[in-house]
Every structure is written in structure tokens, then in C-alpha cells.
Structure 1
Amino acid sequence: MLEGLDPEQRAVATTLHGPVCVLAGAGTGKTRAITHRIAYGVLAGVYQPATVLAVTFTVRAAGEMRGRLRQLGAGGVQARTFHSAALRQLQYFWPKAVGGELPRLLESKYSLVAEAASRCRMRLQRLELRDVTGEIEWAKVTQTTPDDYPAVVAKLSREVPRDTAETARVYATYEQLKQERGAIDFEDVLLLTVGILTDRHDIAEIVRRQYQHFVVDEYQDVSPLQQRLLTLWLGDRDSLCVVGDASQTIYSFTGATPDHLLNFRARHPEATLVKLVRDYRSTPQVVHLANGLLDQAKGRAAEHRLELVSQRPAGPDPVFAEHPDEPAEAEATARRIRDLLTPVAEGGPGVPASEIAVLYRVNAQSEVYEQALTDAGVPYQLRGAERFFDRPEIRQARLALRGAARAGGNDAAVDGAVDLAGQVGAVLAATGWTPEPPAGSGAARDRWESLRSLVRLAEDFERARPGATLADFVTEVDERAAAQHAPTVEGVTLASLHAAKGLEWDAVFLVGLTDGTLPITHARTAEQVEEERRLLYVGVTRARRHLTLSWALARSPGGRAGRRPSRFLDGLRPGSSVRSAGSGAGGGVERGAGRSRRPRGPVRCRVCGRTLTEATEVKLRRCADCPSSMDEALYERLRAWRLDRAKELSRPAYAVFTDVTLMAIAEDVPGSEDELARISGVGPHKLRQFGAEVLALCAGEELPETGSDQESVEDSGDSEESRENGLRPPEKSA
């Protein structure tokens, strides 16, 4: 059970008692760690499967967790969302606690909120309706009543879409309408469960006897109401494992707060703390950019940031692309995607369409990319649009599969198929599916891709369960439909950054990265701007290998080029520097005050004067072929020091400083903190951590002996980094 886990994951898996807090960075294998922890506890006899409740935030994540637990031999463990777990308890205990049947659960609030607004003599447009509905949801998860709403908003200085008194009236009328119609909404599910467990100690004790061990994933997204429910589930026990990353807190508008995660050890001083920082998802280039993005972050979440260390081989550098207008940006993105799709046999990367994503800040940005991909003949799917199992062709396919399973596969076409995927394909053929895709794109291609995903799911299912029957597959599909755990559709994913949370792709395109879009215009306070930075961080860390960040200077062709790249890219894209306080938008929010910045504008070679474009050349401020002024003795001292520090920190050498950064230091030989800060690759975090020692070495001072053994193995990480950059220090003989 513990084979294949790294030391930190193993620590999570084997710590089965008492409160446990796991700070897990993006791509560090947190789901693997916590599912192995549960399975290890079950196999060791510490947990009974039925007494464990694992809670996460999306039905997809819960479905994935259940699948992994089944494979690990812990299939009896419950893995659910907060709402799903609460709804089961509410349905079971409502007759005993209240009497009668549980009120009808609303599928959507929109129609009732619109009616409530009409009763208040307000007519809301579609976007206004969405905004007011969002405010009602926020108020309910923060346990704010309609009467208290205006005062709470004022106290929190919360930016709201409309007059608080108007919203409070709609909120109160909406609650009245629900009562009249005998209905409840999703927030009521949590509120009513909390109410029953608070008022009925006998029912609370039944729940606590049932569930004795808890695991909560994405703990940084817990709302006050969800935390209250978790506290009631726990009672006076402490068998709780929470997992989260404050740097991925992006849902504050729904009431989520990282405070419960950050305050966990204050509430549980005896808690075991484990940090997962080994990134198995992304290449060192992507991880370096992600770390650099958070180097400039501020606030409490930034103080607890995790510096990731990539465990993957080197890959291509992230691409920063500027375009004259949005259609040009979309067309360039579509061309680049076509290049990525080129099969390996034809000399291309051969990235599958399902492993490519285009991510944007707001859904309104998708239209121009839909058009560009259609024009390029590239299939795509919109995430957050119609749900997979609600599509007409999938509903029809499920009916056909269910009928074939009941018939026992006696149909001649089905009976003649040797494997499960062949049987599924034969059944779907009756609905119009063919093994070969239709020509072009559009609705016919979308329908084919949906059905093809069921055939692929059958292939994967048979590999996982050799000998599985058509009836077994139908059961699997039904379970997935109940959990909305859709299979992969072979098409490029178009999604908002919020909808991309928890997902990953081989290639990610982050588009429309301009000030006013990211950070979005209505992010005015320092806290709101920092959440926008974390949103970009989430986008960056979705990429495994290929990452492109792009922006357009104008909206339309021929328009005024008045936009500027997102301030979050300052100091990260070649030739840029971090903006000083007060420069640009953002309500005067300070960004990195008190630190000297690198020069703005194009970076030119200090030797020949040529404008530099390659990242490594920009770092060194010279062409790769121009002569170096490096102090070679200092460079060797810096490398020896870096090895010692890397061993002390149990990190690869390049995680301290890369070869190129050490070369830049040995060429410039800084004499002060300001001069050292101007060198690319020396961010605020590394300046604080290593600045004094580096400056001492530059001044020729000896550092205290650490006892580290300087072996030739020191180059194991650095030579790879040097090869990737194509730049070497000058030969000593020169």
C-alpha cells in the first residue's frame, strides 16, 4: 500500500490518529496521499470502511476519490460533497426530526429569485439576476439573514453589485416564496442539517456513531456554514485530516475562506503538519513560473505559500505572446493548437485534443475562441455548459445500452463483438454512431465525440476490470451519471479559470491576460487583487508541459491599442519588471514597495547592444555568443554554497538558484541588496532567504562550515537546467 509514495505522502498515509493538517501544493499528489491514508487505515484495521467519511467540493472529485478507494480495496468508504452528505442525512432524519416528507429541492434558484424581484417591483436582466442570486447564496453560507445583510456587507466593506437594501428585500421575498411553495435550496440543505444536529442531540449521536473518521479535501474552500456542519459531525473527537493550499483560494465570492486551514494548528495545537511540495504534474519551467508568480504575492495566504519543486524532466519554456487584437490572439491560439495536434509520425508533438485547454477569466471571452477553433477545424468542448449526461445523444445511448444489457447481449451485432468496447460500439451503432468521425466540425462532430467518449470509457473500464460484462458497464455509467462524473470527450476544452480548478492538461493556453480582465476591473481592494493573482496561479499550475500566456492590445482589429499586459506578468515575462506602487490600475495597491526593480522596456545586450528575446540571455543581459565577464572563482564558490544549502533543505540544487542565475550574479557581482534584487531569478522570497549569504560570498567573506560533503553529484539537477537553456559558463582555458 505504501509503495510508490514519496516520504511526505507516506507520512500522510501512515499518520492515522489525531488531527492531521496537510498543506499540499498544486500537482503534489494530495488525492493519492489521502486515498492511500484511508485505504492503509482500513487494511491495517484502524478504520472500519463504513465509519469513514471523505468530503470534497465537486461531484467529479468525489467520484474520482471513490474510484481510487475501490481500486485500493476500501470501496465501503463514503466519499461525497458536503451537500451530498448533508442531503442524505436530511432525507433520513427529516421524518423523525420534523415529520412528513422533506420539502422539494430546487434544481435552480433563478426563476424563484426573478419572481421575488418582480414582487419587489424590480425587473432584473440576466446578469443582474445572476449577481443577486450570487449574493443570496453568499449570505446563506455565511449565515447572514436578510435583515442583517446590509450591515454585514458594510462591516466587511464587501463590493456588491447593487443596493444592499434592494438585495435584502429580494432575499427576504425569495425565502418567503420557498416556504409558500414547500421548497428548499442547496444552502438550505446545509442549514437544515446544522439545525437538526444542533437541536436534536440524539440524532447527532447517531451520526457520530456512524461516522468516526473524517477527511476534508480542498479545505481552503470551506465556508463558515460548512465548517459549522463539520464541527457538529466531529463532536468532541479529533479524528480529522484536512488537506488544502491557501494559494488556491479563489472562491471567496461564495463565502469560502482559507482561515479555517490557516488557523487549524491554532485550534489543534497537537496536530501533525505535513507539507507536500514535490510537483509531479508540471515541468520545472512551469513550476518556476508558478513560484515566481507567488513571489510577488501579499497577504496572509502568501505568508503560507508553498514553494513547489518539480519532479518532471525539463520541458519547453512558457511562451508569452502579445497580439494586436482579440481575433488575432484567438487565431494564433488556434494555429498553435493545430501544431500541437500534429501526430508524432508527422514530426509533431502529437498532443491529444482532450489534453489541451484554453482558459479565460470570464465566460464571455469564449466566443472568439469557439469561432477560431471552428475555422481551424479543431473540435472543442465548453466546460460549464450543458452537462455531459444531460446531452440528448447520451440519454439515448444510455437507454440503448440498458436495453442491450437486459437482453443479455443476444443481439447478433453485439454478440459478435469480442470485447466490451466492441459491444458498446455495436449498441451505439443503432443510434447512428460510426467508428470514423464525420467530416468537419459542428453539431454532428460534437455528437460523435460524445458517443466516442462512451466507447473510450468502455475500453478503460475493461482494462481496469478484465472480463466485465455489458451489464457491469451500464452500472458504471449509471453511477457516473448519478455523480455527474463525465468521461473525457476528445476535444479542446474551453473553460473559465474558476471552472478549471482541480483539472490538468498537457497544454494550457491562458488568454486575455490584460489589466482590467485579470485582475478584473471590479477587484479594487488589495485582498481582491491578490485573489485574482491566485486565480492566475491556478491557471498556470493546470499545465503539465506546454504553457502559453497571451494578451491583446485592442479588442477589435484597427482599435486603439490601449491595453497593457496583466500586472501579474511583470517581472516574469522577458523584458518586464515589477511595477512600482501606484503605477497602473488597482486602487493604489502596493506591489513590492521597498525593493529596487529591474529596468523597464526592452533588454539589450551589454556587449553588442542587440535587443534580447531569449529568457536566458535576458537574465544575463548579454547574447549567448558575446564574451562573459564572469568571476569564475566566485561562480565556483556560489555553486559549492548552493549544494550545501540544497542538501540542508532537501531540495534539488536548481531550486535554490539555477545555473543561469548564479552566472548572472558572478558576472554582475552585486554589492548590495538592491543590486542583487535587480538580477533576474532573485525574487523577494529568495532575497530574504539567501540574500545575506550570497552578498557575503560576493564580498569574498567565508561562510561558517556546514559539514556538507561536496560531491560531483551536485550537477545532477544543474546540468539538466544548463542543457535546457543551451548556455554554459565560459571555459576556464579562455
Structure 2
Amino acid sequence: MTAATSSTLFPQGSTPGAYAATPRDADAVLDGLDPEQREVATSLHGAVCVLAGAGTGKTRAITHRIAYGVRAGILQPASVLAVTFTNRAAGEMRGRLRQLGAGGVQARTFHSAALRQLQYFWPKAVGGEVPRLVERKVQLVAEAAARCRVRLDRNELRDVTGEIEWSKVTQTVPEDYPAVAAKSGREAPRDAAEIGRIYATYEQLKRDRGVIDFEDVLLLTVGVLQERPDIADQVRRQYQHFVVDEYQDVSPLQQRLLDLWLGERDSLCVVGDASQTIYSFTGATPDHLLNFRTRHPRATVVKLIRDYRSTPQVVHLANGLLSQARGRAAEHRLELVSQREAGPDPAYAAYADEPAEAEGTARRIRELITPVEQGGGGIPASQIAVLYRVNAQSELYEQALADAQVPYQLRGAERFFERPEVREAGLLLRGAARGGSADPALADADIPSQVRAVLGSRGWTPEPPAGSGAVRDRWESLAALVRLAEDFAASRPGATLSDLVAELDERAAAQHAPTVEGVTLASLHAAKGLEWDAVFLVGLTEGMMPITYAKTEQQIEEERRLLYVGVTRARRHLTLSWALSRAPGGRASRRPTRFLN
């Protein structure tokens, strides 16, 4: 490939050899690395597998590795492709590489790297323009469902779309979906044969309209590289060295693409931690990481276990949590060793009920953000997080923090009162309050019964739906409103449905104040890759952690890893809490999660 074509194909920040590297330049990159990180940075030949625990400086190790290779003249910047899973992680990697003098290296997500290759090679491989990329496939899935005479509400639509995405990244064709989903133990949101039909119709609609989706970008790139050896050779001449971050999260399809990029070579460095595999529901699997040495018997394996993030007390709890784990990932767990000075022991708090847990958490946060000179902890609000298992749990904490005048921000979800199902429920309750109950039999019923009746028409049921996904999320939101009505009625005897609606409006208004510098409220999944000085892990009861629909040993072990991810987000202060009953005055029948035994 000529220099001209290579820059068209993969635009470079700088050209190879843009500055003269000297060995001393290269050695300067190694300054400040610990012995294991240094081993990662200097292992530049053959396959390398870095098993990196939480907080052990994996991004530092791999960016210094690339920069060392570039500055020592071993790697040409234009020949290195670093891939990770989010645009945020790729951007951070590019920024670090620029600072280290390796700005010409490409750091991208799998999709972004594949899309560039597809756009470049499509005219040669297929002819014409690349088909238009559909940003949001939901509308097409809805149309496919309608053609199959299947009615899906907004949440079912999201879940069926998720099943189609899972099928594609696991390379499952429509007709095989029912069998493969059953074998994988997936809780299908609808009848599996029905989903298979919708999936097949969706694929036909895309073909008819000449459009592709996000997963097709990977599938088509794989197809081009498989069917056109000349194009595969061209890509392999361009990219001769690969680095893959978060390797425990690769899907079978991403691994297939990586294999095609590599060809017969083994110039590959992968980084991951099987104990942080928490996305298997999307098709991610740690098997590629765990089988790496089988596929590459001569690979250099380096373990990063020095934890620079968390205190010895937090690390001790994290290690203890995994010491009880089972399964393949557990066999490869890393025993972390904290490099920080001692801090406070993790705090455990049992509360009588959920509102008390939220209020107690808000009170403790208030103390932590109070300036030191006033007897507080002096921790900025932005360095504190409250983490929970499902997004519907946020409402109590939004309310408790607002009441305590603590600013907060939600990550990865809308505020509770801005969620579509909550807004819709509010409108229905307002209508019922204005016109009296729609059901005459409920005219004299108590507030909770009226609310259950109104929300029952929108999908609330006394028992939660099976499985996870959008339908479950919607149910959790509606169930939170039912619980709110029960608590309100208990605290305000004689109140009417109109009084409840007024209370909901007040709460919504109190939580709409825009906040910038605030405590982070997030689900455990949304917290992956982040860290804070103080972390509150809340709602840690059986049924929520592990969640009720985690039935198999594999699913329960994934829940344990999710809690492990939560624990390892904390730098210094860590509080784990649970409520013995749901509502004030309720029976104290709940037990804390088995993972803390």
C-alpha cells in the first residue's frame, strides 16, 4: 500500500518516523512503571496476555507499551491498531498516546475501525457506495413486528431489538434463534419462535431498503476479509500490531474479526480481567481471554495485581468476595495487593426499611461533603457515588438527596420522574384523580388499590415479569410508584388520590433542578470503568443482589462479579447497606446478600 493510499484508508495523526527516536527517549517512557507494568511495556514481540485487576493501571501499562515500541523504533505508529469498547475509552487512550509522543497510533472501538475499513474497501469489493447505516434500529424492528402481526409495546420493542443484537454478535441466524436461545438459557421477552420470525423479517426489510445496522458493520467487514484475500492482505500490511483492551468483553463476532485482522501472525497484546465480566447478556464472553494461552502456547503472560486505586481495607473485601466464587472465571481470579496507605474499614449498615436506608445514606453523604473545618469529610460531591442494581432504585435516593439538599446527577438513565412510563403513569393518575376512579367499584378504595388499578392497565402486575430487560425495567418503575402510594397512604391517613398526585408533582419539581457538581447515582453496570473517593452500595438484599431472575450458577456468579465491580470503584470510603423490610412498619423478613457471608 502506498503512503497516499494508507493515509486515505486510515488517516494518521502523524506519519511514521515523524521524529527521530533514540533509545534514551524510549527508556524515559518506562520511568515510573512498576516491575509488572514495565514487563508489559517491554514485551513487544509475539502474543502477550495481560491479566489486569481493577485499579492496577492497565491503561497506563498498554499506552506506555505502545509508546515505548514507537520511540524505540520497533513499532511504526501507522502499523498499530489499539481497540477498545467505548468511544470514551478510545478517546482517553488517544490522548495518553499523544502525550507520550505516539500520536500516529490508531485507537478505536471495534465498530469504528471496521466501519472505516468497510467504507474504504466497499467500492472495490462490492461496488458503489456503502449502504446507509441505520443509527436506531428500533423503528425497523417495529415495522418487522407489524408485518408479522405482532404487537409490541415500547419496552418489548427494546427487548426484542436486544435479542436481535445478541443473535448477530453470537452469529446466530433467525431460524436458529429459538434453539440457540434455549441452549444459552436466555429468558426470551416473547415467544422465541415469534422473535425468530421478527428477526428474519427485520433482515429482509434491511435488504429491501439497502441499509445496514451496527452489527452488520462487523459482519460485512468479516465477509469482505474472508472472501477477498487480496483485501485481507492489504489490511494486514497496514496493521501489523494489535492491542485489545477489556478483552473479557469480546463477542464471538469481534473475535472473528480480530482473527481475520491478524491472519497467521501473533503480534497481539490483549488486556482483561475475567472477574469483571458483567455483560454476558449482550454476547460478551471471557472464554477468549481464558483460552488465550491454549491458542497462543508461547504467549507472554503478565499479571497486574498492584492496586493503586483502593485502600487495603477495600481491596481485602474485594478479594474476599471473589474467594467464594465458582466457575472458570473464578479459577483465574487475581489476588490484588493495595499500594495505598490504610483507610477506614468498609462500613456495613442494616436499616429497618428502604426509605430509612436512603435517608441514612443521604445523611452520611451530607457529612462527607461538609468542609473539614466544619467537622466534615471535605470530599467533593462529584467524588461520591451511590450504586444500585436496577435503575428503578434511584427514586428513593433522588428524593433523599434532594431533601438533604445534596446535588446529584444520574448516569446511564433518565431521572425517575422523567422516565416515559413514570410520566405516562402520572398523567393517568391525574386523570383518575380529576374524574374520580374510572372503576366505580374502586371509588371508595384506598389510595394504593386505586393506583394498582390504574397502573394495572399499563403493565403493572403484583408479580414481576420473568427475566431482565426493558419490560422488567418498566415494571420496576411502576412498582416503585405503587410502593410510593403505599408509603404515602400509611403516612397520611385520610389522604386522597389528588393528594398523592400533588405529592408526585412536588417530588418531580424538587428533582428537576439542574445539577453539575453532584453525587453520582448509577446502576452497577453503568459504573464500570469509573471510580470515586466514596462509594455507597445500596439495596444489597437477597432478590436484588443476586437479582431474582439470576437462577443458574453462571448467572449468580455474574451477579457476584457485578458486586465486585461495585466494591472496586471505591478509593477510600465504602459503605454497604440493606433494608430489612421494604416499607416503614413492614415485617423485617429480608436478608442481606449471600455474597457478604
- Both proteins in one fold, TM over 0.5: yes
Deviations along 1:693-728, whole A, 9 cap, x unmatched?
xxxxxxxxxxxxxxxxxxxxxxxxxxxxxxxxxxxx
Read off the aligned partner of 2:542 and give its amino acid letter. Answer: D
Question: C-alpha separation between the residues in 2 aligned to 1:271 and 1:441?
Answer: 57
CA-CA distance at 1:442 after TM superposition = 5.2
Question: C-alpha separation between the residues in 1 aligned to 2:185 and 2:511?
Answer: 46
Residue 421 of structure 2 aligns with which residue?
none
Residue 538 of structure 1 aligns with which residue?
565
Change (3 A) 1:562 1:129: farther
Residue 258 of structure 2 aligns with which residue?
230
Question: C-alpha separation between the residues in 1 aligned to 2:153 and 2:400?
Answer: 29
SS in 1 for 2:175: coil
Question: C-alpha separation between the residues in 1 aligned to 2:365 and 2:89?
Answer: 28
Counterparts of 1:48-447 in structure 2, within 5 Å, are 48-385=76-413, 443=512, 445-446=514-515
SS in 1 for 2:269: strand
Task: Please say which structure displays the higher CA radius of gyration.
Answer: 1
Residue 501 of structure 1 aligns with which residue?
528
Change (3 A) 1:132 1:560: farther
Alignment match of 2:581 (pick from 537, 541, 554)? 554
Question: C-alpha separation between the residues in 1 aligned to 2:152 and 2:538?
Answer: 31
CA contact (8 A) 2:369 2:378 kept: yes
CA-CA distance at 1:161 after TM superposition = 2.8
Question: C-alpha separation between the residues in 1 aligned to 2:179 and 2:513?
Answer: 53
Residue 485 of structure 1 aligns with which residue?
none
Deviations along 1:127-152, whole A, 9 cap, x unmatched?
32222121111110000000011121
Aligned identity (percent) is 82
Question: C-alpha separation between the residues in 2 aligned to 1:500 and 1:510?
Answer: 11
Counterparts of 1:580-729 in structure 2, within 5 Å, are none
Question: C-alpha separation between the residues in 2 aligned to 1:159 and 1:91?
Answer: 36
Deviations along 1:432-451, whole A, 9 cap, x unmatched?
xxxxxxxx9755543xx2xx
Question: C-alpha separation between the residues in 2 aligned to 1:518 and 1:386?
Answer: 22
Residue 556 of structure 2 aligns with which residue?
529
Question: C-alpha separation between the residues in 1 aligned to 2:414 and 2:113?
Answer: 25
Question: C-alpha separation between the residues in 2 aligned to 1:22 and 1:233?
Answer: 20
SS in 1 for 2:550: coil
Question: C-alpha separation between the residues in 1 aligned to 2:375 and 2:407?
Answer: 21
Stretch moving more, 131-140 or 534-543: 131-140
SS in 2 for 1:373: helix
Read off the aligned partner of 1:372 and give its amino acid letter. Answer: A
CA contact (8 A) 2:399 2:511 kept: no
Question: C-alpha separation between the residues in 2 aligned to 1:141 and 1:209?
Answer: 27
Deviations along 1:241-277, whole A, 9 cap, x unmatched?
0000111111111111111001101111110010000
CA contact (8 A) 2:387 2:523 kept: yes
CA-CA distance at 1:108 after TM superposition = 1.9
Change (3 A) 1:351 1:145: same
CA contact (8 A) 2:398 2:511 kept: no
Question: C-alpha separation between the residues in 1 aligned to 2:322 and 2:578?
Answer: 20
Question: C-alpha separation between the residues in 1 aligned to 2:587 and 2:131?
Answer: 55
Stretch moving more, 286-295 or 547-556: 547-556
1:33 to 2:57 alignment: no
Deviations along 1:320-357, whole A, 9 cap, x unmatched?
11112222111111111111111123232211111111
Question: C-alpha separation between the residues in 2 aligned to 1:345 and 1:184?
Answer: 59
SS in 1 for 2:107: strand
Change (3 A) 1:181 1:326: farther
CA contact (8 A) 1:379 1:441 kept: no
Question: C-alpha separation between the residues in 1 aligned to 2:183 and 2:128?
Answer: 40
CA-CA distance at 1:386 after TM superposition = 7.0
Residue 452 of structure 1 aligns with which residue?
none
The total of aligned residue pairs comes to 476
Structure 1 consecutive aligned stretches of length 4 or more whose deviation exceeds 6 Å: none
**TM-score when scaled to structure 2?**
0.78
CA contact (8 A) 1:378 1:441 kept: no
Gaps of 5+ in 1: 388-439, 450-489, 571-734
CA-CA distance at 1:522 after TM superposition = 1.0
Question: C-alpha separation between the residues in 2 aligned to 1:118 and 1:262?
Answer: 42
Stretch moving more, 259-268 or 556-565: 556-565
Question: C-alpha separation between the residues in 1 aligned to 2:366 and 2:88?
Answer: 29
Residue 462 of structure 2 aligns with which residue?
none
SS in 2 for 1:324: strand
CA-CA distance at 1:106 after TM superposition = 1.9
CA-CA distance at 1:89 after TM superposition = 1.0
**TM-score when scaled to structure 1?**
0.63
CA contact (8 A) 2:225 2:232 kept: yes
